[in-house]
Amino acid sequence: MPIEWLGNRVKILDQTRLPQEEVYLELDRYQDIASAIVELKIRGAPAIGVAGAYAVALGALKIEARSKREFLEKLQSVTKAIASTRPTARNLFRAIERMEQAAKSAKSVEDIKAALVSEAIKIHTEEAEATRKLSQLGAELIRDGFTILTHCNTGPLATTGYGTALGVIIYAKEQGKKIKVLATETRPLLQGARLTTWELKRAKIPVTLITDSMAGYFMSRGEVDCVIVGADRIAANGDTANKIGTYTLAVLAKENGIPFYVAAPTSTIDLSLASGKEIPIEQRSAAEVTYFQKVCIAPENCEAANPAFDVTPHRYITAIITEKGIIREPYGEGMSKLK
């Protein structure tokens, strides 16, 4: 299990050590969970949301306050630190909003602490259940014999549940469909090469690892039946932010007449943003690009750009798979009915 609540601490599987080592960490300070999110020890939009909620609960348990007002003031510095870890995943902010709401609704300081722990557990359970449901719904789009191309890592590690894009793939396999996966390595941090292949091997689903730049080759030869990816934030018009490289895959899929699906729980949808232009995109350290697994691959002081996500305009998306249904154009209409 990638994230587990142990009553007064959180156990996480350190995703930066996979696939070489399966190392679990037990963290009891919210600051350590915040660092684990920044360092991608915990990653993937739904998992970031769940970890963020547990971090708020841990921070709250340690607050000493004589009144509800004093408690809520101190809680603000906890939520602020957690909110500043990664800006793109909507699930993190949705989780923090829910935690703040739960704190405001409770009466005494002790009640608030209990309410925050139970709200975090509820968020975890609901995220996991949402990914199971969307995987089941999405599996209907997968036919026997399909080769599916996916990007980044969107399985149980990224969701603490079934998975989003990978959940759909795993569910289709459980239905008895014979499927194959092409997994992109996902430069610069190799979530596809390290994590997706690891999860698919455990699920006994045939997987071939390709570099990101090979996707067009396979699509143009008719060797891809559909593309499924996850999402970090979906704007009200269906524009979708996901791991850098997703937009390229979507354009290539359209050019080659291949369906392009996005799978995400509704907690990833942000109706407050009219379009993808408003989605904040995380910029990460240049060293993640100039280094490949701790080996420097560029001249010293070489400048490098490292946007962690890009935005795929909704016109490239064949359908968005959520736990409440599969929606297609016009997305604006479909999406407002889901929330």
Question: Which residues belong to the active site?
Answer: 232
Count of C-beta atoms within a 10 Å radius of residue 175? 12
138-177 residues in contact with ligand MRU (CB under 6 A) are 152, 154, 158-159, 164
291-320 residues in contact with ligand MRU (CB under 6 A) are 308
Phi, psi of 228 (to 5 degrees): -130, 130
Min dist. Cβ of residue 159 to ligand MRU (A): 5
Min dist. Cβ of residue 127 to ligand MRU (A): 10
Q: Please state, in angstroms and rounded to a whole number, the distance separating the CA atoms of residues 96 and 252.
A: 36
- Which residue has tokens 């350590």? 32
- Residue of 292, 194, 312, 168 lying closest to 245 (CA atoms): 312
- Residue of 338, 311, 314 lying closest to 326 (CA atoms): 338
Q: Please state, in angstroms and rounded to a whole number, the distance separating the CA atoms of residues 195 and 52.
A: 21
Stretch that binds ligand MRU, among 92-100, 107-115, 174-182, 227-235 (CB under 6 A): 227-235
- Please, what is the angle between helix 90-105 and helix 45-61, to 10°? 30
* Selected binder of ligand MRU within 94, 124, 233, 243 (CB under 6 A): 243
Query: Does the footprint of ligand MRU cover residue 231 (CB under 6 A)?
Result: yes
Nearer to ligand MRU, 116 or 266 (CB): 266
Classify residue 89 by its DSSP letter: -
Number of residues forming the site for ligand MRU (CB under 6 A): 17
* Selected binder of ligand MRU within 10, 27, 45, 102 (CB under 6 A): 45
Query: Does the footprint of ligand MRU cover residue 230 (CB under 6 A)?
Result: yes
Nearer to ligand MRU, 142 or 158 (CB): 158
Nearer to ligand MRU, 40 or 142 (CB): 40
**Cβ contact 336:324 at 8 Å:** no
* Selected binder of ligand MRU within 136, 242, 266, 290 (CB under 6 A): 242
Question: Which amino acid belongs to residue 200?
Answer: L
Query: Does the footprint of ligand MRU cover residue 36 (CB under 6 A)?
Result: no
Min dist. Cβ of residue 313 to ligand MRU (A): 17
Residue 74, both tokens: 């101190």
- The H or E element containing residue 321 is strand 319-322
Nearer to ligand MRU, 103 or 264 (CB): 264
Nearer to ligand MRU, 43 or 133 (CB): 43
Q: Please state, in angstroms and rounded to a whole number, the distance separating the CA atoms of residues 165 and 250.
A: 14
Task: Report whether the peptide linkage leading into residue 2 is cis, meaning its omega lies within 30 degrees of zero.
Answer: no
Nearer to ligand MRU, 47 or 103 (CB): 47
Task: Tell me which residues touch ligand MRU (CB under 6 A).
Answer: 40, 43-46, 152, 154, 158-159, 164, 191, 230-232, 242-243, 308
